[in-house]
Chain A
Amino acid sequence: MVKMVIGAKKIAEMAENIASKEMGKSHSLWADAFRRFFKNKASVTSLIVLILIVIFAFGAPYISKWNNEEIDWAILGSINELGRPSLANGHYFGTDDLGRDLFVRVAQGTQISLLVGFVGALIAVIVGTLYGAIAGYFGGKIDSFMMRLVDILMSIPYMFVLILLLVVFGRSIFMLFVGLGLISWLDMSRIVRGQTMVLKNKEFIEAAIAGGANHFTIIARHIIPNLLGVVIVYASLLVPGMILAESFISFLGLGVQEPNTSWGALISDGAKTVLHGRLWQLLIPLAFFVAGLFSFFFIGDGLRDALDPKDR
């Protein structure tokens, strides 16, 4: 009886070992990619920098004794001397021209810039993937019509159309998301289409068709999951692209509006006061902008090396 229990246990253990090894093997594509990504020093450093930026963005408002709208009347008249970054009065990054604490403002701007980056990229990913997968899968006339439309939209200077959109429908963060998303899916759809055209001639798609699956099941269950690698790589490069576009528009004063702010809006404010000698108002947001974008680019590079089968 006892022997049998031990035996059963051992067998179960062995079975588990085998199963877990089997599991390891079946996931090896993603596990491999994971391992490759973490071997890349630049990407891992960037990931750490980015995590620190995110922690700062959400943590800073709790550390500081100022909030983002409060005006420090004590220093308002003499920002050049008293508004400098200092530990004594709690303005770790100094204040802006209106006497608001820059430490908290930068945190707030970082939150919004990151949000714009991720939401814009997400919209682009969803629209672009669906559009590209449909065009690539059906091919023929549908494909050439859909892709001709993409060609046409691509040769329009999109920033102007985006600004037009913001002017017509009001300058709000929501409109900014929609506008950026609407415009940025074009490249994604091209990449996805190309990849889909390769995939659709593979045996497993043939098997799915033979099994009686309809077109949308095939696209949703068989094509899109296999596009994931390419989509992730490209999406990781879309995020800094979105942040750049948003910063550009906010720099012109047409994007994020007060009391909200973003990296672009903060750089814009800082750039206006440069000649008055208040350099910190420009350089601190700029440092965050540069560090953030660099991290995104290097993470994207690392993901591409890890996931893109072409470069191996």
Chain B
Amino acid sequence: MFRFILRRIAIAIPTMLILIIISFVLIKSAPGGPFTSERPLPEQVLANIEAKYGLDKPYHQQLIDYIVGIVTRGDFGPSFRYKDRTVNDVIAQGFPVTLTYGFWSFIVAVSVGVSLGIIAAIFHNSWIDYFAVGISIGAQVLPNFVMAPILVIIFTLWLNWLPGGGWHGGQWQYIIMPVIALSTSYMASIARIMRSSMLEVLNSNFIRTAKAKGLSWRRIIFKHALKPALLPVITYLGPAFVGMITGSVVIDMYFSTGGIGREFVNSALNRDYSVIMGITILFGFLTISFNLLVDILYAWIDPKIRY
């Protein structure tokens, strides 16, 4: 197990490096430097600014400095558009918000999805099963950017129950719609995966044996069937996590929650390269670490996996 974890980390590190290098190369190949503007700066001024940010060094040196800065000091460098703040400031400001509703979305998607899948499998071919299948098909075409405006129409415009946006320090009424919008399609996918794997497990021989022994339903489901049936769901957690991180950009844009996503889109529109790059790398790091965790969890649960 320990060797497996080490080997998995040995893959994660080059992945991270490749992400940094890809973003770095992309940005360096952009036409014009970060300080090119409509009114060209005097050459001496430009040279001074570039020297200040270390942009006069050769590219490979800049790349090494950038990576060393991130690894040793957790420093993503300055914003090229706003002199008074760094990329770290941007992240520190928005990240707690993104983390809050992202965490709840993940919890909701997994817990509701898994429960719905189990219930649908137990009551196979009943109305509750059809209901679960129905929403899991429907939710394929209801991604976050479709859910968000629909929720606003229902809960803000018609029912007037919830505010249509804002954050206000994360009061519950401001969190509900972002969480539903972000989690629905993943909840549905998890329910679908859980249902089909649970059905398969419930039809297998060891469950028949358990039934023959006269075990109670609760014991069969939770003690015997749940663990093997969860495996396909665990493999899906990685993609679901990536999807939610990506979706958080839409949530921040639409609900004005003040998370990191809006900064990302605004810097994309302003070509504030260092902010885009910092956020991309931060999200890449989260994704890669999460995938690492999922793989370890999987290896731990599945006895068949070879280390």
| Residues in chain A within 8 A of chain B (CB atoms) | 148, 151-153, 155-157, 159-161, 163-169, 244, 247-248, 251-254, 264, 267-268, 270-271, 274-275, 277, 279, 282, 286, 289-290, 293-294, 297
How many whole Å from B82's CB to the nearest CB in chain A? Answer: 17
Answer whether A274 and B246 are a contact pair too, CB < 8 Å, given A156-B19, A168-B29, A253-B269: no
28 A-B residue pairs with Cβ-Cβ distance under 8 Å, sorted by A, are A152-B15, A155-B15, A155-B288, A157-B245, A157-B284, A160-B279, A161-B19, A161-B280, A164-B26, A164-B276, A166-B268, A167-B268, A167-B276, A168-B30, A248-B246, A251-B145, A267-B146, A268-B145, A270-B149, A271-B152, A271-B254, A274-B153, A275-B152, A275-B164, A277-B157, A282-B153, A290-B146, A297-B141
**Cβ–Cβ < 8 Å partners of A156 in chain B:** 15, 18-19, 22, 284, 287-288
**Cβ–Cβ < 8 Å partners of A152 in chain B:** 11, 14-15, 18
How many whole Å from A177's CB to the nearest CB in chain B? Answer: 17
From A252, A270, A282, A290, give the contact of B253 (CB < 8 A).
A252
**Cβ–Cβ < 8 Å partners of A286 in chain B:** 146, 149-150
Q: Decide if B15 touches A293 in the complex (CB within 8 Å).
A: no
Complex: A186 Cα to B287 Cα, angstroms: 17
Q: Decide if B23 touches A252 in the complex (CB within 8 Å).
A: no
How many whole Å from A207's CB to the nearest CB in chain B? Answer: 35
Q: Number of contact residues on B: which range applies?
A: 35 or more
**Cβ–Cβ < 8 Å partners of B249 in chain A:** 159, 252
Q: Decide if B157 touches A274 in the complex (CB within 8 Å).
A: yes
| Residues in chain B within 8 A of chain A (CB atoms) | 11, 14-15, 18-19, 22-23, 26-27, 29-30, 137, 140-143, 145-146, 148-150, 152-153, 156-157, 164, 238, 242, 245-246, 249-250, 253-254, 264-265, 268-269, 271, 273, 276-277, 279-280, 283-284, 287-288, 291
**Cβ–Cβ < 8 Å partners of A277 in chain B:** 157
**Cβ–Cβ < 8 Å partners of B277 in chain A:** 164
How many whole Å from A184's CB to the nearest CB in chain B? Answer: 14
**Cβ–Cβ < 8 Å partners of A289 in chain B:** 141, 146
CB-based A-B contact count at 8 angstroms: 117
Q: Decide if A275 touches B157 in the complex (CB within 8 Å).
A: yes
**Cβ–Cβ < 8 Å partners of B291 in chain A:** 155
Q: Decide if A267 touches B149 in the complex (CB within 8 Å).
A: yes
Complex: A254 Cα to B265 Cα, angstroms: 8
**Cβ–Cβ < 8 Å partners of B164 in chain A:** 275
Q: Decide if A275 touches B156 in the complex (CB within 8 Å).
A: yes
Complex: A165 Cα to B268 Cα, angstroms: 10
Complex: A151 Cα to B18 Cα, angstroms: 12
Complex: A267 Cα to B142 Cα, angstroms: 12
Complex: A289 Cα to B143 Cα, angstroms: 11
Complex: A297 Cα to B138 Cα, angstroms: 11
Q: Decide if A157 touches B287 in the complex (CB within 8 Å).
A: yes
Q: Decide if B145 touches A247 in the complex (CB within 8 Å).
A: yes
Complex: A244 Cα to B153 Cα, angstroms: 22
Complex: A279 Cα to B149 Cα, angstroms: 10
Q: Decide if A290 touches B141 in the complex (CB within 8 Å).
A: yes
Q: Decide if B141 touches A160 in the complex (CB within 8 Å).
A: no
Answer whether A163 and B288 are a contact pair too, CB < 8 Å, given A152-B15, A156-B18, A275-B164: no
Q: Decide if B271 touches A167 in the complex (CB within 8 Å).
A: yes
